[in-house]
Structure 1
Amino acid sequence: MLHKWGLGPTPGCDCGYEKQTAIHIADDCNTRRLQGGMKELHRATIGAVQWLNSLDIQI
């Protein structure tokens, strides 16, 4: 979305994937994947909140 809004240079993820989406980041990204993926994020567990706080990207 950052690219779509003119706030990011490209739509791609720095891991090499063509689009950096929330689903990609949580489920598939080799660099940032959340153990348990989007299901874990939707549960808002302590681990998911810690993962969000530790992300090195602006979401």
Structure 2
Amino acid sequence: MSGRSTDSTGLFLIGLVVAAVALVGTTLLGWEFGAPSGPVPVALGVACVVLAVVSRLR
């Protein structure tokens, strides 16, 4: 632990947006996040991983 505060408004808001997109995508658009043929869910997952790594390294 680096001793820095883990409160990040930016990451919290990004998390809310990703959760909302995932909820709408699965309930209204029929996305399956485990499906290998869905580019949007895969792109969202990759973006989340990149954001988490960048946030952790800062």
Query: Normalised by the size of structure 2, how large is the TM-score?
Result: 0.37
Query: Normalised by the size of structure 1, how large is the TM-score?
Result: 0.37
- Larger Cα-atom Rg: 2
Higher helix share: 2
